[in-house]
Amino acid sequence: MPGGTGAGALLSILRDGRARTRAELVQLTGLSRSAVSQRIDALLHQRLILPGEDTTPSGGRPATAFSFNREARVVLAADLGVTHARIAASDLGGAVLAERAADLPIDRGPEPTLSWVLDTFRELLAECGHRASDVCGVGVGLPGPVDHESGTAVNPPIMPGWDGFPVPDWLGERLGVPVLVDNDVNIMALGEHWAVYPEVEHLIFVKAGTGIGCGIIAGRRLHRGARGAAGDIGHIRIPTVDQVQCRCGYVGCLEAVAGGAALVARLRDAGLDVADGRDVVRLTKEGNPLAIRLVRQGGREVGSALASIVNFFNPTLIVIGGDLVEAGDHLLAGVREMIYGRSLPLATQSLSIRASELGDRAGVTGAAVMVIERILDPETVDRSVAT
């Protein structure tokens, strides 16, 4: 059975939500009845499974069915963007129990930002009736390059004070649980794939917000690359716009022409009152012709960068998320126009391009999933029941 033959592998079977009897688990695992009973006892002791009501198979003795206890622990998740944040508490099935969204500029620096996150975590726990001791882990998404192993941002261009800041240590010392950190787009890709498209093998999630980036699911797993920089399409050079300066220091980057910050600047130049990507969305929904034209052209720029990536990676699904996708079909229309016009027919034959289903919840869902998959990994479960 996948994940070994221990209690963790048994729990993996039950995580699909179906209750099963000892006899069913014996059949599914090939283990002896006593081995199954021993693993069930260990999982019951940890409250990771619950015994259900006795069921009576036709002609047989009553048997107890066991099911995964999603409520055994709480996961805390923080999706920190450039200008705003979303914080959530969720159960082990990824369901959100309580959440909060707020304006929170990341350039305030790590300690003020994380102090707010910590206070909000405590409020959310109280709101959903849980204690700090119920928390099994914390997942955090940051809007910049993150070294996932150490959980630190690496040379983030718009996050003063965050470079190398030990987020896992800072939060871990205060909450006493493991803290996992990744960049915001990776967790969005993880969340959308896990919650909406678990059956899709190869998926690209594009975040079109203040910046632009993408998360890559390859063979149903998140592909981070050697140092966590995979998917950073925002700084792909677009040859036609060589004169535009990017915040990263180079010129002609995709983000510098199609990112939310770039659109905000263009609309301001035209005398419109806009502060961030949400204002761009508002103007587009109000039918402002310049905003619509800029969003659509931004979609084309993103699409032309993605056209090469589609040829290279051959995904079956591209999901577009982030603030700008809220602007109706204009962004997606631009993206589709370029990808279907420029990618190889073999690569686009079975390709769908859709807006994110989870919307602004994709990040917190993915941050929670990152923790759940680590905590419920069969090996981790085997270790925790052995102690």
Report the interface residues with Zn ion, using CB under 5 A: 235, 246, 248, 250, 253
Least distance to Zn ion from the beta carbon of 185, Å? 15
Least distance to Zn ion from the beta carbon of 262, Å? 11
DSSP letter (8 states) at residue 360: G
In the bound state with Zn ion, the residue whose beta carbon lies nearer, of 108 and 237, is 237
Least distance to Zn ion from the beta carbon of 251, Å? 8
Least distance to Zn ion from the beta carbon of 237, Å? 8
In the bound state with Zn ion, the residue whose beta carbon lies nearer, of 11 and 261, is 261
In the bound state with Zn ion, the residue whose beta carbon lies nearer, of 246 and 367, is 246
In the bound state with Zn ion, the residue whose beta carbon lies nearer, of 126 and 229, is 229
Q: Is 145 helix (H, G, I), strand (E, B) or coil?
A: coil
Which residues make Cβ contacts (< 8 Å) with residue 287, sequence separation at least 6? Answer: none
In the bound state with Zn ion, the residue whose beta carbon lies nearer, of 235 and 296, is 235
Determine if residue 271 is left, alpha or beta; phi over 0 gives left, psi from -120 to 50 gives alpha, anything else beta.
left
CA end-to-end span of the chain, whole Å? 23
CA dihedral 71, 43, 53, 56 (to 10 degrees): 140
Q: Residues for the chain: how many in total?
A: 387
Least distance to Zn ion from the beta carbon of 55, Å? 60
Are 97 and 87 within 8 A, CB to CB? no
Least distance to Zn ion from the beta carbon of 236, Å? 9
Q: Which amino acid, 124?
A: L
CA distance 3 to 18: 19
Least distance to Zn ion from the beta carbon of 184, Å? 17
Q: Which amino acid, 7?
A: A
Least distance to Zn ion from the beta carbon of 144, Å? 12
Nearest alpha carbon to residue 288 among 305, 306, 271: 271
Least distance to Zn ion from the beta carbon of 252, Å? 8
CA distance 66 to 334: 50
Are 52 and 67 within 8 A, CB to CB? yes
In the bound state with Zn ion, the residue whose beta carbon lies nearer, of 154 and 248, is 248
In the bound state with Zn ion, the residue whose beta carbon lies nearer, of 136 and 253, is 253
Which alpha helices (H) appear in the chain, and where do they start and end?
A: 7-14, 22-29, 33-45, 110-127, 167-175, 184-195, 254-258, 260-269, 277-285, 289-313, 330-342, 345-348, 362-375, 378-386
In the bound state with Zn ion, the residue whose beta carbon lies nearer, of 231 and 315, is 231
Determine if residue 213 is left, alpha or beta; phi over 0 gives left, psi from -120 to 50 gives alpha, anything else beta.
beta
Q: Which residue bears the tokens 């990771």?
A: 48
In the bound state with Zn ion, the residue whose beta carbon lies nearer, of 248 and 272, is 248
The residues that bridge with 64 in the sheet, in sequence order, are 54
